[in-house]
Amino acid sequence: MKKTTQLRQLLASKELLVAPGAYDMLSAKIIEASGFKAVYMTGYGQSASVLGQPDVGLLTMTEMARRAADMAEAVDVPILADGDTGYGNPLNVIRTVREYEKAGVCAIQLEDQVFPKKCGHMLGRKIIPAEEMVQKIKAACDTRRDDDFVIIARTDARTNHGLEAALERAAMYKEAGADLLFVESPESVEEMKAINKAFPESFTLANMLEGGRTPMPTVPEMEEMGYNIAIYCTGPVYAAAKAVRSYMETLKHDGTTKGIWENLLTFEEFNGFIGLPSYCEKENKYA
């Protein structure tokens, strides 16, 4: 079965699809090994891991497509990839969709912010006219070669323009052909429920960001609301940053890491996880 078809079936399931955010290939492999059925390639995390910079539109389309291709090669589960604004007008969106499809991901997320964009839980975001975003969605849908490739339409209208404006935009994007609706940054459980009430026949996405503008219900609670997928976009990179910082603080303070070895994978464990044994087998086979 194609991975894109697999993703479609996962979205259509009664069980909420949970897709943690991968900031690099190692984190994607950890997500897959932990039993999750899909990975979300977070632009926020790519900016942090590639550039060491915030999510303010600094990465180019070609850089993101390269990361998407590497991630698709690293794991076997479907990947939903952040495509930011599509990196320009509808013509740019056409090339972006082609490059993301070639990369091997199963979905692209496009948002209605002006360029350069910002993280969806930051203040100061600005949005383009809804009609312009409609044309981007139409271009994306017309361009994909695989009909099962998922077009995710995200609106950032809620924060500055209110929920009703965001719902109106989401309806326009659905009409334009979007497969999955992503109303970013609802600010209460009631608003999260209202989103699904407005689109009972559409796939919907919840963005769970620790410390962000949206509450964080449990997975069963989001299933009850009617969401089809929940992404945990930033948690893994926050967890990794804290763990590495703790390691460095210990080394700096104690002059040794012996006291925290129990918190680390061993040399053998990590090599096994990353796939060294299979390469050793191939080396012997082709020696």
**pLDDT tens for residues 61-94?**
999 999 999 999 999 999 999 999 999 999 999 9
Q: How far from each other are the two terminal CA atoms of the chain, in whole angstroms?
A: 34
For residues 78 and 66, is the Cβ–Cβ distance under 8 A?
A: no
For the chain, what are the domain ranges?
3-240, 257-285
CB 194 within 8 A of CB 226: no
Task: Give the model confidence (pLDDT) of 118-157 as tens digits.
Answer: 675 767 688 999 999 999 999 999 999 999 999 999 999 9
Structure confidence at residue 117 (pLDDT): 77
Q: How far is CA 234 from CA 55, 123, 260, in A?
A: 11, 17, 25
Give me the residue label for tokens 């990179």.
237
pLDDT of residue 120: 59
Domain 3-240 in CATH 1.10.1760.20: no
Neighbour-count burial for 20-47, b at 16+ CB within 10 Å, e otherwise: bbbbbbebbbbbbeeebbbbbbbbbbbb
The mean predicted confidence, pLDDT, of the chain is 95
- Residues 208 and 43: their CA atoms lie apart, in Å, by 15
Judged on CB neighbours under 10 Å (0-12, 13-18, 19+), 275 is: exposed
Looking at residue 121, its pLDDT comes to 74
The residues of the chain scoring below 50 in pLDDT are: none
